[in-house]
Amino acid sequence: MSSTPLALFVGLPTPTISDDEFALYRETNPLGLFVGRRNQREPEQTRRLIERFREAVGRDDAPVFTDQEGGRVQHLDAGPWPLFRSFGQFAELARRDFDLGKKALRLSSQAMGAMMTELGLSSGCSPVLDLVFETTSAVIGARSFGPDPDFIAALGREVVDGLLETGNMPVIKHIPGHGRATLDSHKERPVVNASRETLTATDFKPFVALKDTPWAMVAHVVYSAYDAELPASVSPIMHDVIRNDMGYDGVLISDCIFMESLSGTLPERVKQVLDAGFDIALHSHGDIPESEAAAKAARPLTEAALQRIATGKARLGNLKIDVRAAHAEVENMFASALVF
């Protein structure tokens, strides 16, 4: 096993790590593990799964991510876990009472972050900073705070800071912006034809405002004003736009490479992400042959990526929150404003 982890997250199909999967992770040393709804049944099982992955790769701090935004995208939605509201609902509250909306969102983010940190989860891959319009693909919908980039940035800040305070890594997504995409990048390749001037003034703006966030997830969307052929996640041109024009210097991880916006085999997709200059390829599920093939196509993290990861970790706090009490307080805030 290489002492430097691979620039790769892997996933698995079940709630447990088999002996063969354990051996594969030990041999290949992927940076992290992505767990979904299929992998998480209840707290003790989730903790054991995470501990077993970290034992396999020999790193107690190996990142384990999930999708936990609130609303319809929350993979901790079984067993005893509370259900959290969507960003669209917090936006509605903030439009009625901006200060109350921000307060509720900060507390909810702290509760969600504390819940994940207690389980051993490193991140819920949140918040979504994409704009939403009438033409936006339904894959975004209530995951967005709305169409106003300044409003999105203000609310997104509450999520970023609330998660950091509780030791959970925020990941802004889907940089540089999925909102003008009319197709679902899980199923097709979206092409955004807006001008550079429009994108800079709108879609890019929340990401620039929150460019101090330690991690960002890159969209599988084509921005034809910059690169008419390749989705951002595999485009060297868009890598340079994000790093230079937008000024983002944190960790850049692709959206899941299984999504059909990309082309080629899974190993080819891993190579495309890394060849474009991005730090990490996300292989969020898959069986042993798929994970093995992805690992063979990956390469060790660069020194720059390792430094970005370390810099982000240094910002994690240790605020303790009573998750259920905080969640109940947030619900009371919605009730007081007559928003349900």
The amino acid occupying position 129 is L
Active-site residue 174, yes or no? no
Q: Which of 67, 130, 255, 279 is catalytic?
A: 255
Distance from C-alpha of 171 to C-alpha of 163, rounded to nearest angstrom:
10
Active-site residue 67, yes or no? no
CA distance to 66, 146, 156, 217, per residue, from 150 (Å): 27, 10, 10, 20
DSSP line for 116-166: HHHHT--B----B-----TTS-TTTGGGS--S-HHHHHHHHHHHHHHHHHT
Q: Which of 97, 186, 240, 249 is catalytic?
A: 186
Distance from C-alpha of 323 to C-alpha of 226, rounded to nearest angstrom:
44
How far is residue 69 CA from its own chain's centroid? Answer: 9
Distance from C-alpha of 29 to C-alpha of 61, rounded to nearest angstrom:
13
Which tokens belong to 239? Answer: 């890598």
Whether a cis peptide bond, with omega within 30° of 0, leads into 170 is no
- Contact, 6 vs 308, CB < 8 A? no
Distance from C-alpha of 327 to C-alpha of 336, rounded to nearest angstrom:
14
List residues with catalytic annotation.
186, 255
